[in-house]
């Protein structure tokens, strides 16, 4: 399913199908952003789907009481605006950017592989266990990657099925 997500995201964005991500080539755990990316043709919508590719790492639900087991855990998504993180066990996460009243804002997201108890993997031993992207977010209708679900979204279709 992780290899199919970039195709689904590409089709949802109305773009051509993106290339499938290649394996990192190393036996070490790795995480890479698929969307958003550093070099985009325009700003990203304020609500979008973050997609990562994870290799050589078994993703399991977080458990703060469990002892770390090598090669197993989940990932954290951090942003440079709020300082909070999202603990994720899937290769995609709905994300809502905080524009703080601005039309366009620069954003930086960091994805980090962590052990089941939220402790980070050693960067010395696992240099590809962290990835960072920088991009612009906008409230303008002319944006990339819109359509992530939000809790305040209502179904306004009143037609009969």
CATH of the domain at 13: 2.60.40.10
Q: How far apart are CA 93 and CA 77, in angstroms?
A: 9
What pLDDT digit, counting tens, does each position of 30-83 carry?
999 999 999 999 999 999 999 999 999 999 998 889 898 999 999 999 998 888
Asked if residue 98 lies in contact with residue 53, where contact means CB atoms within 8 angstroms, the answer is no
Answer whether residue 95 is part of any domain. Answer: yes
Q: Total domain count for the chain?
A: 1
Answer whether residue 155 is part of any domain. Answer: no
Answer whether residue 160 is part of any domain. Answer: no
Asked if residue 70 lies in contact with residue 116, where contact means CB atoms within 8 angstroms, the answer is no
Q: How far apart are CA 159 and CA 161, in angstroms?
A: 6
pLDDT at res. 64: 84
| pLDDT band with cut points at 50, 70 and 90 for residue 18 | very low
Q: Are strands 72-79 and 47-55 parallel, antiparallel or unpaired?
A: unpaired
What pLDDT digit, counting tens, does each position of 82-135 carry?
888 999 999 999 999 999 999 999 999 999 999 999 999 999 999 999 999 999
pLDDT at res. 8: 47
Q: 78: domain range?
A: 5-21+28-60+72-138
Answer whether residue 93 is part of any domain. Answer: yes
Answer whether residue 156 is part of any domain. Answer: no
Q: How far apart are CA 92 and CA 10, in angstroms?
A: 13
pLDDT at res. 41: 95
Asked if residue 24 lies in contact with residue 55, where contact means CB atoms within 8 angstroms, the answer is yes
H helix intervals, 33-159? none
Q: How far apart are CA 113 and CA 123, in angstroms?
A: 10
Answer whether residue 159 is part of any domain. Answer: no
Answer whether residue 158 is part of any domain. Answer: no
């Amino acid at each position: 399913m992780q290899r199919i997500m970039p195709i689904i995201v590409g089709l949802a964005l109305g773009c051509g199908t993106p290339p499938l991500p290649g394996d990192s080539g190393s036996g070490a755990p790795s995480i890479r952003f698929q969307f958003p990316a550093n070099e985009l043709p325009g700003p990203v919508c304020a609500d979008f789907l973050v997609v990562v590719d994870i290799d050589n790492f078994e993703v399991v639900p977080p458990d703060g009481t469990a002892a770390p087991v090598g090669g197993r855990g989940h990932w954290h998504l951090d942003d440079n605006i709020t300082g909070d993180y999202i603990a994720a066990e899937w290769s995609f996460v709905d994300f809502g950017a905080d524009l703080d009243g601005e039309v366009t804002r620069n954003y930086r997201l960091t994805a980090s592989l962590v052990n089941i108890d939220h402790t980070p993997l050693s960067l010395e031993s696992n240099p590809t266990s962290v990835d960072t992207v920088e991009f612009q977010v906008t409230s303008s209708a002319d944006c990339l990657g819109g359509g992530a679900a939000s809790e305040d979204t209502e179904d306004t279709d009143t037609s009969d099925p």
